[in-house]
Chains A and B, each alone.
Chain A
Amino acid sequence: MSSVASTAPPAAPARPRRVLTLARRYKLESVGVVIVAVALLLVILGPALAPHDPSATDFARELQPPSLDHPFGTDTAGRDVFSRVLAGARLTLLAVLIVIASATLVGVALGCAAALGPRWLDTTLMRICDIGLSFPALILALGLAASMGRGLDAAVIALAATWWPGYARLVRGLVADVAQQEYVESARALGVSRMRLVLRHVLPNSLDTLWVQTTFDVAAVTLVISGLSFIGVGAQIPDPEWGAMVADGRQVLTSAWWVVTFPGLAIAITALGFNLTGDLLRSELDPTVRERRGVG
């Protein structure tokens, strides 16, 4: 390792220092980054870390308060809440990430088509977006999910279908702006093909703003997905999904606070973490802020 460091160009050691500088500049936001890191780690490791089987019922030990064996207590069917919160990270966040990823993909494709394609296509796509955006996403997703039958899959599809217009609108604006930049024309003057212009020159220069938006949206979609499960159109109860767990525990809220509290906290902290990370990305990637600071 040390031999690698000594032969590396002088720019290399600056990286860890830069992370420290950033952490010092954004103290609160760094907490958000840590939360996001933990959350993503749990998506990978959550079920493996769970001390008990998250869906194993044990009616002899239902509604036990937090103890050493069950740090978050047990729920109405005697399932270990701690294990369920850990395992739920994968279920909830994976669902959220699928929603965001598909909405972003569709939004980027349609946004680019609208910005660079013929006028009529632009008008058509943007009017469709207008219609989509004029409904509250939660209500539209609720209707869609309910019509497809219960289950997390339905909720994910419904949300992805309602979430893309925001991205299409955003990407269209970004791409239309970047496409006018001189470096795009200069790449065109080099004989670069249209497709490649978009993928290599236009899109990468629009991504900053898109990243900020997706980060904020992870927080928003986490809340909506849990909300759908809470209402009952999303994940159903043996599944360790955070929203469904809150719904399950609400009848026993007065006698067994832990059943609702811990998955509820998981939702809140995750949303907070992604929002704080979004703040950090925005202040770092926003061109006006970046320019003021100068480039290091």
Chain B
Amino acid sequence: MTRDPLLKVRGLEVAFPGQDGPVTVVRGLDLDIEPGERVGLVGESGSGKSVSMHAILGLAAGARVSGSVRFDGQELVGAPSSTLRAVRGRRAGLIFQDSLSALNPVLRVGAQITEPLRLSGTGKREARDRALELLERVGIRDATRRVDDYPHQFSGGMRQRVMIAIALAQSPELLIADEPTTALDVRVQRQVLDLLLELSEERGMSLLLISHDLGVVAGGTERVVVMYAGQAVESATAEPLFQRPLHPYTWGLLGAVPQLTGSRPERLPAIAGRPPDPAVPPSGCPFHPRCPHAQDRCATEVPMLLEHEPDHRAACLRVGEISPPALIAEERVDA
């Protein structure tokens, strides 16, 4: 008997009302996260990564959400707000990209860490001790003093650590980190990522790391899902995805990661064109207008996310017919 995954998303669709009818920004996303597993979700800005994660916790305001989201077996789509609240924070935490706007400017950080704890009935002293412990754990020095500071008194990296402490306060089983490092400089990015991975490991907490940067998810995640135009286009365990990517879009993304070793290209290769407008999605394969390998049938046939190798799925009609450009074929994984 196989145990159900902690998070099981099937056919998730998210649509927002638009001027000419609803605009579907997530179209049939499937995603599994096992307990303790670290998954990377990668895609360009506007590919629907963040929206789908917010929709999972019922936080996509004004959106029409359909499909199925099962958290530990419990259906969350269409669930009453009491059910959602019981999951939010307590079982699944969410970390936002911009820590400055995601922290309440008029509350001391200590109060923001203890708030969810106090709500679930922890005593005042105990909650404060826990806040101190968490701040120390996420690497904030002098926690006893800083616990009474306001968010604007912290640097960007420190604020992101505070956010992590808040998310950890209720010991969730799943932590969704939505572009947690995008607003930070490179060195601090690495530190924050390492912290997230460490915490995930030591607590056996599942981690869903959302990023537009494959380089960010490369080290440390066990599985990577590549999203394009509101769909998963490739999904595999990390190593095969980086070594033998199947989808031309993934090739494009990998080509856009700057390398420190090897010959340096004049310019970073870019994927031609722009992501499709969700209001007028392209026919057939959503990537075909930008795909250098597109054929006529790509414009008419919709590719399914199929398992081409064990535990390696891709949604491309031409898997096996085409191979990645030379750049990718070389050793690319620095993780």
Partner of A182, one of B101, B116, B152: B101
Contact assessment for A205 and B106 in the assembled complex, using a CB-CB cutoff below 8 Å: yes
Bound CA span A217–B54, Å: 42
User: Which residue of chain B lies nearest to A186 when distances are taken between CB atoms in the complex?
Assistant: B102
Contact assessment for B86 and A186 in the assembled complex, using a CB-CB cutoff below 8 Å: no
Q: Which of A103-111, A192-200, A262-270 contacts B (4 or more CB under 8 A)?
A: A192-200
Q: Mark B136-170, 1 if CB is under 8 A from A, else 0.
A: 00000000010000001000000000010011001
Asked if B335 is an interface residue, CB under 8 A from chain A, the answer is no
Q: Which of B73-99 contact A (CB under 8 A)?
A: 81, 85-90, 93-94, 96, 98
Q: Which of A162-208 contact B (CB under 8 A)?
A: 181-183, 185-194, 196, 200-201, 204-205
Asked if A20 is an interface residue, CB under 8 A from chain B, the answer is no
Asked if A131 is an interface residue, CB under 8 A from chain B, the answer is no
Contact assessment for A190 and B166 in the assembled complex, using a CB-CB cutoff below 8 Å: yes
Partner of B103, one of A186, A188, A192: A186
Asked if B222 is an interface residue, CB under 8 A from chain A, the answer is no
Partner of B59, one of A189, A196, A200: A189
Partner of A190, one of B54, B81, B93, B98: B93
Contact assessment for A190 and B106 in the assembled complex, using a CB-CB cutoff below 8 Å: no
A188-B59, A189-B93, A193-B85 in contact; A182/B102 too (CB < 8 A)?
Answer: yes
Asked if B243 is an interface residue, CB under 8 A from chain A, the answer is no
Contact assessment for B59 and A205 in the assembled complex, using a CB-CB cutoff below 8 Å: no
In the bound complex, residues from chain B placing their C-beta under 8 Å from that of A204 are: 104, 106-107
Contact assessment for A187 and B152 in the assembled complex, using a CB-CB cutoff below 8 Å: no
Contact assessment for A188 and B102 in the assembled complex, using a CB-CB cutoff below 8 Å: no
Contact assessment for A185 and B119 in the assembled complex, using a CB-CB cutoff below 8 Å: no
Asked if A295 is an interface residue, CB under 8 A from chain B, the answer is yes
Q: Which one of B98, B106, B163 has the greatest number of beta carbons of chain A within 10 Å? A: B106
Asked if A16 is an interface residue, CB under 8 A from chain B, the answer is no
Asked if A9 is an interface residue, CB under 8 A from chain B, the answer is yes
Bound CA span A181–B107, Å: 14
Bound CA span A205–B105, Å: 8
Distance (Å) between the CB of A117 and the closest chain B CB? 14
User: Which residue of chain B lies nearest to A190 when distances are taken between CB atoms in the complex?
Assistant: B89
In the bound complex, residues from chain A placing their C-beta under 8 Å from that of B81 are: 194
Contact assessment for A182 and B96 in the assembled complex, using a CB-CB cutoff below 8 Å: yes
Q: Mark B192-229, 1 if CB is under 8 A from A, else 0.
A: 00000000000000000000000000000000000000
User: Which residue of chain A lies nearest to B58 when distances are taken between CB atoms in the complex?
Assistant: A188
Contact assessment for A205 and B152 in the assembled complex, using a CB-CB cutoff below 8 Å: no
Asked if B30 is an interface residue, CB under 8 A from chain A, the answer is no
Bound CA span A188–B88, Å: 8
User: Which residue of chain B lies nearest to A181 when distances are taken between CB atoms in the complex?
Assistant: B101
Contact assessment for A183 and B93 in the assembled complex, using a CB-CB cutoff below 8 Å: no
In the bound complex, residues from chain A placing their C-beta under 8 Å from that of B115 are: 187, 190, 192, 200
Bound CA span A228–B59, Å: 51
Bound CA span A136–B119, Å: 46
Contact assessment for B102 and A192 in the assembled complex, using a CB-CB cutoff below 8 Å: no
In the bound complex, residues from chain A placing their C-beta under 8 Å from that of B104 are: 183, 187, 201, 204-205
In the bound complex, residues from chain A placing their C-beta under 8 Å from that of B54 are: 185
Asked if B57 is an interface residue, CB under 8 A from chain A, the answer is yes
A205-B104, A205-B105 in contact; A189/B119 too (CB < 8 A)?
Answer: no
In the bound complex, residues from chain B placing their C-beta under 8 Å from that of A192 are: 85, 89, 115-116, 119
Bound CA span A205–B57, Å: 25
Contact assessment for A183 and B105 in the assembled complex, using a CB-CB cutoff below 8 Å: yes
User: Which residue of chain A lies nearest to B152 when distances are taken between CB atoms in the complex?
Assistant: A295
Bound CA span A182–B116, Å: 17
User: Which residue of chain A lies nearest to B151 when distances are taken between CB atoms in the complex?
Assistant: A183
Q: Mark A8-46, 1 if CB is under 8 A from B, else 0.
A: 010000000000000000000000000000000000000
Partner of B145, one of A9, A186, A193, A201: A9
Partner of B86, one of A182, A187, A191: A191
In the bound complex, residues from chain B placing their C-beta under 8 Å from that of A201 are: 104, 107
In the bound complex, residues from chain A placing their C-beta under 8 Å from that of B101 are: 181-183
Q: Mark B98-132, 1 if CB is under 8 A from A, else 0.
A: 10011111110000000110010000000000000
Distance (Å) between the CB of B96 and the closest chain A CB? 6
In the bound complex, residues from chain B placing their C-beta under 8 Å from that of A9 are: 145
Distance (Å) between the CB of B88 and the closest chain A CB? 4
Contact assessment for A191 and B85 in the assembled complex, using a CB-CB cutoff below 8 Å: yes
User: Which residue of chain A lies nearest to B87 when distances are taken between CB atoms in the complex?
Assistant: A191
User: Which residue of chain A lies nearest to B111 when distances are taken between CB atoms in the complex?
Assistant: A200
Bound CA span A295–B100, Å: 14
Distance (Å) between the CB of A116 and the closest chain B CB? 11
Bound CA span A44–B14, Å: 59
Bound CA span A189–B105, Å: 17
Distance (Å) between the CB of A199 and the closest chain B CB? 12
User: Which residue of chain A lies nearest to B53 when distances are taken between CB atoms in the complex?
Assistant: A189
10 shortest interchain CB distances as A-B pairs? A191-B89, A190-B89, A189-B94, A191-B88, A182-B101, A186-B102, A183-B104, A182-B102, A190-B116, A191-B85
Q: Give 27 pairs: A residue, B residue, CB < 8 Å, sorted on A.
A: A181-B101, A182-B98, A183-B101, A183-B104, A185-B59, A185-B61, A185-B96, A185-B102, A186-B96, A186-B103, A186-B163, A188-B59, A189-B57, A189-B88, A189-B94, A190-B89, A190-B115, A190-B116, A190-B167, A191-B88, A191-B89, A191-B90, A192-B116, A192-B119, A193-B119, A204-B104, A295-B152
Chain B residues in the interface with A (C-beta under 8 A): 54, 57, 59, 61, 81, 85-90, 93-94, 96, 98, 101-107, 115-116, 119, 145, 152, 163, 166-167, 170
Chain A residues in the interface with B (C-beta under 8 A): 9, 181-183, 185-194, 196, 200-201, 204-205, 295
Beyond the given A186-B103, A295-B152, please list 6 additional residue pairs across the A-B interface where CB-CB is below 8 A: A186-B96, A186-B166, A192-B85, A192-B115, A193-B85, A200-B115
